[in-house]
Structure 1
Amino acid sequence: MRIRIFSDFNCPFCWLGSRIIAKLREELDFQDEWLPLELHPEIPEQGSELLDKYLQEELDGFVRTLNSRGEELGIHYAPMHKSRNSHKALLAGEFARDNGAFHAFHQRVYVAYFTEDRDISSDAVLKECASDCGLDPVRMIQAVQDGRYEVRLADVKKEAKARDIQVAPTFLLDDGQRIVGAQSLPLLREQFVAIRSGLTAL
């Protein structure tokens, strides 16, 4: 079974989804392909203040909910202050994909953003993430800057629009079914098993 997942680094639920998928890979036979869908290109490179849109108590409650869900997955969310522009990070993720370190880089960027509260639009932060994953940070930034991966982001955006995908994560499965949002591990396992069994029966 093949699962294609539309996701963005500035989506906290995508981090939950990525860890759920990692656990399910240990149990079930499937291939997962993560597609870089930039949800909010309008966010400036310096980021945008969340308190301009939400009350502090809303943000605190949101983080508590995320940490409640993330505990069983071994992930922790720090208090949230800013939304970050994810464009460079998504381009860097494509470099990591081409150099055999996509999953490691994927997780490292999420940790930098949501646990360490760092700016993932910063070249310095992305270079550190690359080094931590055994990637050449200089080559990665060169690849981000020379635009070689821009067409991939454009193609994913085009496909998402054609499929009316507006939420991340969105999971597309072999039989055309879609699952929207980072559902719980037991529920996603149940859905994957049911779909895989249906495909096997065919």
Structure 2
Amino acid sequence: MGKGIVEKLKQEFDIAEEWVGYELHPETPPEGKLIKDLFPDVDIDKMLENFRRAGKPYGINFSGMNLVANSCLALQASEFARDKGKYEQAHARLFKAYFQEEMNIGDKQVLIKLFKEIGLNEDELMETLDKQLFLPRLQKARELARQYEITAVPAFIINDKKRLVGAQSYQVFQRALSVYQ
């Protein structure tokens, strides 16, 4: 589920969106962890096929995934991009780097390269990451997730009442939103 489905929903419903960066696994070491080590009993190929099937209607492609990255720096960098008016470009670039190019988005040098590609100042980003200037926003997002009992991503909160978790079909969103129209 990505921006494509949100844009499609906006054509049918009067909705506003706010993307909140949530660190799903803060315990992941800075260098990341191999998926096969984290989930030894999971058929990774089958999991990827399910991802591909779910993403296909929305033009989302998933390549092979070997590493679960520590997303803390990437989420902080995203908040930096938000303040510079480039959050959507940053989100899209991070998604592609991680899910299609198999890049470790937990690596500071990878982030510097990716955010430079979208026109952000690398020195400013490096200083921001070194000083962890956006860590308080991540902590606030974690508190918000706790409040809504979010334990998986993506997660969607509709009118502070309805919670949808995981990749859902367009029809699920239609039904959830039609209640509020």
TM-score (norm 1): 0.81
Q: 2:38 aligns with which of 43, 46, 53?
A: 53
Between stretches 84-93 and 173-182, larger displacement belongs to: 173-182
> Following TM superposition, by how much is the alpha carbon of 1:55 offset from its aligned partner in structure 2, in angstroms?
5.0
Q: 2:16 aligns with which of 5, 8, 31?
A: 31
**Any idea what the Cα deviations from partners look like across 1:157-178, whole Å, max 9, x if unmatched?**
1222233222222211225222
What is the match of residue 6 of structure 1? none
What is the match of residue 155 of structure 1? 140
Q: Supply the distance in 2 between the matched residues of 1:87 and 1:54 (Cα, whole angstroms).
A: 21
Q: Supply the distance in 2 between the matched residues of 1:147 and 1:46 (Cα, whole angstroms).
A: 17
Q: Supply the distance in 2 between the matched residues of 1:25 and 1:139 (Cα, whole angstroms).
A: 34
Question: Which sections of structure 1, spanning at least 5 residues, go unmatched?
Answer: 1-15, 198-202
**Any idea what the Cα deviations from partners look like across 1:110-150, whole Å, max 9, x if unmatched?**
10001000010112221222122222222122212212211
Preserved contact between residue 17 and residue 183 of structure 1 (Cα < 8 Å) = no
Q: Which has the higher strand share?
A: 1
Question: Which sections of structure 2, spanning at least 5 residues, go unmatched?
Answer: none
Q: 2:131 aligns with which of 142, 146, 150?
A: 146
Letter in 1 for 2:44: L
TM-score (norm 2): 0.90
RMSD after superposition: 1.9
Question: Do residues 127 (structure 1) and 112 (structure 2) align?
Answer: yes
| Count of aligned residue pairs for this structure pair | 181
Identity of aligned residues (%): 31
Greater RCO, CA 8 A, separation 6+: 1
